[in-house]
Amino acid sequence: MRAIFWITIIVASAVAGAAFWTHLPVSAQEKSYTPPRAADGVPDLNGIWQALNTANYDIQSHPARPALALIPASPRSATPGLDRATHVELPAPVVRPLGAVGGVPAGAGIVEGDEIPYQPWAVAKKKENADHWLERDPEIKCFMPGVPRATYMPYPFQILQGTDKILIAYEFAGATRTIHMSTVGDSPSSTWMGWSRGHWDGNTLVVDVTDFNEETWFDRAGNFHSDALHVTERYTPVSPHHLMYEVTIEDPKVFTRPWKMRMPLYRRFDADAQIREYKCVEFVEQLLYGQLGVVDPATGTINK
């Protein structure tokens, strides 16, 4: 009797203790938080959300950098007789006037294992992309950002849960995704934002995204994919104000295996939180077309 009594006390205390300690790490929160339900009974992810990280600069861990476009360091030994300090990295002339506004903040990566398993040819292609960032990054041209980049660009987005369809409204370039929550046919073509099919796995919204074209990047560091890209997203509410976002990337043309990214998404609950317009097409017309017509609208001069 006595033994059973004390064993029970110890076991109960152990359970209590374990329960207490497992509340601290995020993984237990994920398992234990039950979100409110939408009126049709499914988890309610409606709201305005935003990522807070530097993933759009570089999805891998990176130190601070002077600019997004750099000119290479000149080695100390390259110039005969030069025994003075040389620069490490300089901003490219075209972005130099932006000064510290144009710099890249340091940040932890969001890639599990911090390694992107490129095939050997793709490693070189990524570096080439990075070296030609100004000419190649589709973000500069206000092209649709693709998935998952749209999620972690520095703008809020809104999840709008309708019947059978969930829309995700992004600010950048006014991109919108339609997530089909019931059976839907196939996409008739390759797209920038993919073709999204969603279902619920417990409290998690799982979205299977296919039919991408090869045009989008994952970040400003030149990380890319092919038209074989297949993305699987998981949106899991972990508190009234956070989602945990996990995304699996598969692309047999570019990577040697699937790989994952993971980050919290924060609810924007300021009273006037709203998705605004960022209709950036007109912001880039001078850049793309200014020199192509008879007249350059910026200067009024005739183009040669």
> Which of the stretches 7-15, 105-113, 201-209, 251-259 binds another protein when contact is defined by CB under 8 A?
7-15
Task: Give the Cα separation of 164 and 181 in Å (integer).
Answer: 5
Q: How many CB atoms lie within 10 A of CB 65?
A: 18
Report the residue from 97, 100, 163, 270 that binds another protein according to the rule CB under 8 A: 163
26 makes contact with another protein (CB under 8 A):
no
Report the residue from 120, 185, 201, 257 that binds another protein according to the rule CB under 8 A: 185
Ranges within 200-239 binding another protein (CB under 8 A): 215
240 makes contact with another protein (CB under 8 A):
no
Report the residue from 87, 106, 167, 269 that binds another protein according to the rule CB under 8 A: 167
192 makes contact with another protein (CB under 8 A):
yes
Exposed e or buried b for every residue in 126-154, given b needs 16+ CB within 10 A?
Answer: beebbeebeeebbbbebbbbbbbbbbbbe
37 makes contact with another protein (CB under 8 A):
yes
Least distance CB 259 / another protein (angstroms): 26
Report the residue from 150, 153, 193, 263 that binds another protein according to the rule CB under 8 A: 193
Residues in the chain: 304
- 174: nearest Cα among 210, 197, 152, 144: 144
Q: Can you give the binding site for another protein, defined by CB under 8 A?
A: 5, 8-9, 12-13, 15-16, 18-20, 32-34, 36-41, 46, 141-144, 158, 160-165, 167, 169, 173-176, 178, 184-186, 188-193, 215, 272, 274-277, 279, 281-282, 285-286, 288-290, 292-297, 303
